């Protein structure tokens, strides 16, 4: 009798192992996604702290000059900034999804010119080419339609903040429209390259890796030593990987460490993750 019980127990464990392994793998994937969301929110909050520091510096300069402190144009109250960052819910192991945790990348659009090769020569030369195009519209696309519902924003800074607010809230379609219109109206604004970066992010999140790759490449070409340059290269590599351009994606991700050895730990970690994901 004891031999039969032992045999039955071993058989039960044998058949239960694949299901347990699958469940554990799903939980690990969910935790990785949760960590990525936390890292993204940390980057957003860091940018907001930098912006507040800049605004405080302006106010201190006004006070030092004996002028009454004026509200900084486009400044967002700290409470509004904090509420703009969407909370990240902790993963629920009991409700694990049965699909891949990575966001799906849809097919590339079939409009004319969509299959044109991307010019990645700037990555090899390391030189800063001429000014990048204004990217008011994606490749092969017409003029963007106006957002269906937007609150009034009059100044360029207010319009920029409004579009960036859509990025923070995950409304990438509205963010894409907002940054397209902003770039069309303000192609030479000092924030144009930052706006172009967030336009590329909206393309990527809307499963349009070709327009995302074109836009992130333009960000890097316009300012190859800017604070946004390492992130733009990482996102370019991710977009190329989504397009199936494995060799170009791996080369681009490899350039991040070579061109930016002083990059933040978060950027280096993301490069390692995406390099592994791309199978480099």
In the CATH hierarchy, which top-level class contains the domain 152-278? mainly alpha
End-to-end CA distance of the chain: 54
Chain segment 97-139, per-residue pLDDT in tens: 333 333 333 333 333 344 555 666 556 555 443 444 444 434 4
Contact between residue 250 and residue 243 where contact means Cβ atoms under 8 Å apart: no
- 157: pLDDT strictly greater than 70: yes
- Tell me the pTM: 0.52
- 50: pLDDT strictly greater than 70: no
Distance CA 65, CA 132 (A): 39
Length of the chain equals 280
Q: What is the full DSSP assignment across 71-91?
A: PPTT---HHHHHHHSPPPPPP
- Stronger pLDDT, 2 or 224, i.e. the higher one: 224
Calculate what percentage of the chain has a pLDDT beyond 90. 45
Q: What is the pLDDT of residue 151?
A: 55
Q: What angle do CA 113, 125, 179 make, to 5 degrees?
A: 45
Instruction: Identify the three-state secondary structure at position 127.
Output: coil
- What is the domain partition of the chain in residue ranges? 152-278
Q: In 74-100, which positions are buried (b, 16+ CB within 10 angstroms) versus exposed (e)?
A: ebbeeeebeebeeeeeebeeeebeeee
- 264: pLDDT strictly greater than 50: yes
Continuous segment of H or E residues that includes residue 270: helix 265-278
Chain segment 17-40, per-residue pLDDT in tens: 555 555 666 666 666 666 666 666
Distance CA 202, CA 219 (A): 14
């Amino acid at each position: 009798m004891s031999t039969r019980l032992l045999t039955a127990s071993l058989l039960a464990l044998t058949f239960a192992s694949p299901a347990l392994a699958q469940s554990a793998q799903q939980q690990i994937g969910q935790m990785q996604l949760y960590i990525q969301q936390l890292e993204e929110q940390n980057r957003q909050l860091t940018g907001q702290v930098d912006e507040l520091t800049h605004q405080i510096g302006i106010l201190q300069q006004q006070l030092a000059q004996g002028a009454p402190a004026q509200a900084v144009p486009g400044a967002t109250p700290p409470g509004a900034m904090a509420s703009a960052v969407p909370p990240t819910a902790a993963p629920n192991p009991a409700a694990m999804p049965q699909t891949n945790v990575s966001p799906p990348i849809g097919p590339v659009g079939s409009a004319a010119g969509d299959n044109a090769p991307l010019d990645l020569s700037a990555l090899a030369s390391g030189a800063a080419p001429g000014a990048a195009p204004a990217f008011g519209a994606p490749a092969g696309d017409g003029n963007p339609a106006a957002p269906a519902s937007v609150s009034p924003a009059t100044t360029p800074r207010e319009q920029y903040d409004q579009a960036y607010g859509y990025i923070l809230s995950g409304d990438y379609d509205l963010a894409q429209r907002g940054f397209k219109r902003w770039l069309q109206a303000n192609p030479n604004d000092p924030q144009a390259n930052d706006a172009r970066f967030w336009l590329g992010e909206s393309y990527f999140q809307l499963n349009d890796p070709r327009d995302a790759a074109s836009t992130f490449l333009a960000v890097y070409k316009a300012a190859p030593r800017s604070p946004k340059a390492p992130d733009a290269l990482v996102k370019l590599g991710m977009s190329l990987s989504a397009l199936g351009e494995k060799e170009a994606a791996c080369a681009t991700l490899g350039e991040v460490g070579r061109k930016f050895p002083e990059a933040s730990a978060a950027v280096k970690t993301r490069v390692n993750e995406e390099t592994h994901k791309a199978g480099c």
